Structure 1
Amino acid sequence: MADLPVDRLTPGPPFSSVGLDVFGPWPVLTRKTRGGSAQSKRWAVLFTCLTTRAVHIEVIEDMSSSCFINALRRFVALRGPVKLIRSDKGTNFIGAVNDLHVNAINVEDNEVQTYLKNNRATWLFNAPHASHMGGVWERAIGSARRILDSMLLQEVPKELTHEVLVTLMAEVCTILNSRPITALDADPSSPMVLSPNILLTQKQGEIGTFSDHLSIKDMYSASWKHVQVLSDMFWKKWRTTYLDSLQKRHKWCTSKQNLKTGDVVLLREKNVHRNLRPMGIVERPIESNDKMVRKSVIRVAKDGKVTTYTRPILEMILLLDQ
C-alpha cells in the first residue's frame, strides 16, 4: 500500500484539497399540470475535504459543464478557494463523452478549464478502474448513495420536490459530518469526540432535532415534516451500515516485483464477452514517489487496432516477465 499523498497530510483550511464525485439521479416533481405532474431529474455533487474528512453536497439539475461550474462556484462561495481537486477518471469527468453525444460534465471543456485556471486550481485524476485510490471520498459517497437510492428510488412513495431534496442533502451532510474521526478518549473527564462538524463550525455539542414525535404518516403533510422523516430514515440506515463498516481492514502489506516495459499481462476487464481473455504488453510503467509501480500504460489489440489503456496493477495478472 502506498503512502498517503501530501495533500492528505498537509495542515490547512478545510476544503483546500477536495475529492469529488457525482451520484444520482433521482426523480423530482418540478410542476403540476392539468394532465398530472411533470418530473425532472436531479444529481448531487459530493465534495470531501481530504484533511478534515468533512463533506459538502450540492444538487445540480443536469449533467452539464454549466451546472457543474455553478455547483463548484456555490461550493467555493461557502467553503473558500480550492487548490486541489481529485476525482476518478470516469465518464462523468472526461472529454470523450462528446463523441457519444451525451450530456455530461466535461472538465476538459474550455469553460471549466478557464475557471480552474483563473482560480489557480489543479485537477488530478486517478487511474481508470482504480476506485480504491479515492477511498477518502468513495467511502463517504458509497454509504450515502446506497441509503439514498434505497430511500428515494424504492421505499419513499411520495414524490420529491427540489426544495425537499436540497434540504435533505443538507441534513445528510450534517449526519455525515457528525461522525467521529478519531479514537474515543478513555479519559472520562474528556468525553468530547472530534468530528468534522467541530473542525468546520468550531462549536461543540450535537445539532438538535425536533422530529422525535414524527412518524411515516407526517410525510404526507407539510414539506418540512417530509424532510425530517426522510432525515430520520437516513440516520437509522446510515448508523447501522456505518457501525458495521468500522472493522479492521486488511491492507496490501507485502511488496511485489514492479512491472517493466515489455511484460505480458492478462487484464481483468469486467465488461468483456464470455471466453475472451484480453492480454496486453506493458508500454510504460508509472512509478509513484516511493519507486513502486501501482499503475501502468498497457498496449492491447482491440478490434484489429492497437490502443493503450491506463490500468492499476490490481487489474493485471503478470504472465510473462520480460
Structure 2
Amino acid sequence: MVKLRGRLQTQKMADLPVDRLTPMPPFTSVGLDVFGPWTVTTRCTRGGSADSKRWAVLFTCMSTRAVHIELIETMSTSSFINALRRFFCIRGPAQILRSDRGTNFVGACNELQIDHKDTELNSYLQEKGCTWLFNPPHSSHMGGSWERLIGVARRILDGILLKAVHVQLTHEVLSTFMAEVMAIMNARPLVPVSTDPDKPNLLTPAMLLTQKVNALSAPTGSFGPPDLYSKQWKQVQCLADSFWKQWKSEYRSTLQQRRKWTDDKTNIKVGDVVLLKDALAHRNDWSMGKVVRTFESKDNKVRKAEVKTVKDGNEKVFLRPITDMVLLLSSDK
C-alpha cells in the first residue's frame, strides 16, 4: 500500500546559505547555467553565407541578484575558460560558483565538452581561489535563487530567437542583444513597490552595480518586425523590445511568495528502504533501494542521500534529493 500511495519525502526549508546574506562585493558568489545554441552568420560568400553556433553562459550574483551573460563561440573547455576570464575581468574574481546537475546544464556541458573535473579548468579555478559546487541530480529547487532567473530568461530568449530564425544574426548583433537583456534583467525591482512618497526610487541590481539611480533608457522610436530586416542596431532594439514585453508578463507572475516546507520532518536515515521516483516510468516500476549515506545540512536536516539499488544483479548508487524518495520501511522498525 505504501508503495502505491506513499508520499514523497519533504523537509523543513533550509536557512539561506551564508553567501546569500554576507555583505560582499557583487558576483563574489555566483550561480551559473549554459543555454543555447543559436545560429549566427560569420561571413558572406558568393553562394550564400557561412554560419556557426553560439552559446551563452548566464551568471547570477547570489547576493545582489544581478546577472551577467557571456557568449561562447566554440565547443571546448578553453572557450568556457575564456568566458570565465572575461567575466572575472569585468566583475572581479568569484569565490564560489554554483550550478545544478539538471539535464539542461549537463547536456550543455557535454555538448561543449566541459568537464568540471577537467584538470585544466580546475587548475584555473584554483589559481583564482574559486570553488565550483554542484547540487545533487534532480534537485533544481535547491538552486531556486538562480534557476528562476535563468529559466525565465532562457524561455523568452529561445522564443524570440526562434521567431527570428530567418533573420541573419551576426555575432555583433547577438552580443549587443545579450547586453540589452542584461540591462533589462538588472533593472527589475528587488523589493515590492513602496507607496511611500518619500521613497520614489526602486532598489534594483543595476543600482547596486553602477551606483546610479536612473536606469539606461532605450533609444526613442517604435521598433517592429520589419526592423528585423533593417539596420543592425534596429534589429537589436526590436529583439530587446520583444524580450522586455515577455519579461514583464512572465517574470511578474513569479514574484508572488509561496509558503511551503515550514514544518520539521523526520530525517531519512542510513538503512531506510525507499522508493526512488522516476518521472519516465510508472510508479509500479520505480526502483526500490536502501539508503547507504545521508548528507546533513548545517541545521542537522537531511535533504539529500545516496541510495543503493539492485537490478538484474547489478548494484548502483544514486545521489538524490529526499523529494524524489518515498519511505517504505524505516530502519528503526
Q: TM-score range by the shorter chain?
A: over 0.9
Deviation of 1:37 (Å): 2.1
| Separation of aligned partners in 1, 2:275 and 2:24 | 42
Q: Does 1:59 align with 2:71?
A: yes
Q: Higher RCO, 1 or 2 (CA under 8 Å, sep at least 6)?
A: 2
Partner of 2:33: 21
Q: In the superposition, relative to structure 1, how do residues 103 and 176 fare at CA in structure 2: closer, same or farther (>3 Å)?
A: closer
Q: Does 1:214 align with 2:223?
A: yes
User: Structure 2 counterpart of 1:27, which letter?
Assistant: T
Partner of 1:312: 321
User: Structure 1 counterpart of 2:80, which letter?
Assistant: F
| Separation of aligned partners in 2, 1:279 and 1:20 | 33
Q: Decide whether the 8 Å contact of 1:82 with 1:121 is kept in 2.
A: yes
Q: Decide whether the 8 Å contact of 2:35 with 2:104 is kept in 1.
A: no
User: Structure 2 counterpart of 1:58, which letter?
Assistant: E
| Separation of aligned partners in 1, 2:283 and 2:54 | 36
Which among 9, 14, 17 is matched to residue 2 of structure 1?
14
Deviation of 1:28 (Å): 1.5
1:80-119 alignment, distance < 5 Å: 80-90=92-102, 103-119=112-128
Cα RMSD (Å): 2.0
> How many equivalent pairs are there?
318
| Separation of aligned partners in 2, 1:274 and 1:131 | 21
Gaps of 5+ in 1: none
Partner of 2:189: 180
Which among 57, 61, 69 is matched to residue 49 of structure 1?
61
Gaps of 5+ in 2: 1-12
Q: Does 1:12 align with 2:12?
A: no
Q: In the superposition, relative to structure 1, how do residues 304 and 34 fare at CA in structure 2: closer, same or farther (>3 Å)?
A: farther
| Separation of aligned partners in 1, 2:317 and 2:144 | 26
1:22-171 alignment, distance < 5 Å: 22-90=34-102, 103-154=112-163, 156-171=165-180
Bigger drift between 192-201 and 293-302 goes to 293-302
| Separation of aligned partners in 2, 1:282 and 1:168 | 48
Deviation of 1:167 (Å): 0.6
Q: In the superposition, relative to structure 1, how do residues 37 and 4 fare at CA in structure 2: closer, same or farther (>3 Å)?
A: same
| Separation of aligned partners in 1, 2:112 and 2:191 | 41
Bigger drift between 165-174 and 24-33 goes to 24-33
Q: Decide whether the 8 Å contact of 1:92 with 1:104 is kept in 2.
A: no
| Separation of aligned partners in 1, 2:32 and 2:116 | 12
Bigger drift between 217-226 and 102-111 goes to 102-111
| Separation of aligned partners in 2, 1:273 and 1:187 | 54
Q: Does 1:285 align with 2:294?
A: yes
Q: In the superposition, relative to structure 1, how do residues 303 and 105 fare at CA in structure 2: closer, same or farther (>3 Å)?
A: farther
Q: Decide whether the 8 Å contact of 1:93 with 1:106 is kept in 2.
A: no
TM-score of the two chains, using structure 1 as the length reference: 0.93
| Separation of aligned partners in 2, 1:295 and 1:84 | 21
